[in-house]
Amino acid sequence: MKTIILSLTLIMMLSCKKEGVNYPQEEKFNEMVNHLDLNCLDTSSSDFFKAIINGKNACYYDGVNNMKKELSYRNYFVTGSPSTTTQPPKDAGHVILFGITLDLEKGQKYQNWVEFSTPRFDLGISKEMFLDSLFSISDHQIAGKNFPNGIKVKLSMYDKKQKSGGSVYSFYSEVGCQSSESYLRFRKVEKKVEFGYKYYDIEMEVQCDLFYHVNDDGYAQYGKEGLWGKLENGLLKMKVRL
């Protein structure tokens, strides 16, 4: 009898755990996906990103709907053991994020955008030196489990709260294996100097698979895993200051 009661208790505990895990995140994520509005407005800009995402035309224009062109530094490091030395953190470096992204402070209730980030590079390399090297090569791999050092692609959705802040939910290229049809190609990059400032005039094509986020330990952030969809015929055009 005790064995039966113990078994029933264990089954109930496991059932409750399974039913309750990630529920708030998963529910909110599903709500965001339902509000994912992929369309092309009747407008234009000389700086834009256009693509077909899951069979729907998607367009992001600089200066339209709080979108902005971007080329920015981001710090990257893996923390090691606590230390009082002045040595940089383990694997310290930089990545560069670029694309037509969203000004989160001005974002509407539901918005989405696509962004790109470079592989990590060492602290001793300047942004200009790294970009000159990156842009000198036309064809690049998309980051995936089968090629982790490629350029990462991320589709993000933003849910703005009523007063301030909001939540971002994303799909990623690097958490799954990219197919042989995935590519990123710089069709044209011109470096210019105008009024004492350096600019890059970029024209880039991209195609890739996008996946639900799953941690290395197998934890599925939104209760979903595997391929979410495809980004096809992507075209980025923008002139950005270094």
In a domain, 14, yes or no: no
Is 12's pLDDT higher than 50?
Answer: no
Phi and psi for 4 in degrees, rounded to 5?
-65, -45
In a domain, 4, yes or no: no
In a domain, 130, yes or no: yes
pLDDT of residue 162: 63
In a domain, 6, yes or no: no
In a domain, 220, yes or no: yes
Burial class (CB in 10 A: 0-12, 13-18, 19+), 230: middle
d(CA 158, CA 36): 9
In a domain, 192, yes or no: yes
In a domain, 64, yes or no: yes
pLDDT of residue 124: 82
Classify 120 as helix, strand or coil: coil
In a domain, 7, yes or no: no
Give residue 206's domain range.
Answer: 21-79+94-241
Count: domains in the chain: 1
d(CA 38, CA 45): 18
What average pLDDT does this structure show over 49-55?
93
d(CA 210, CA 47): 24
d(CA 66, CA 53): 20
Is 118's pLDDT higher than 70?
Answer: yes
Comparison of pLDDT for 2 and 148, the residue scoring more = 148
List the Cα angle 61/117/149 in 5-degree steps.
Answer: 145
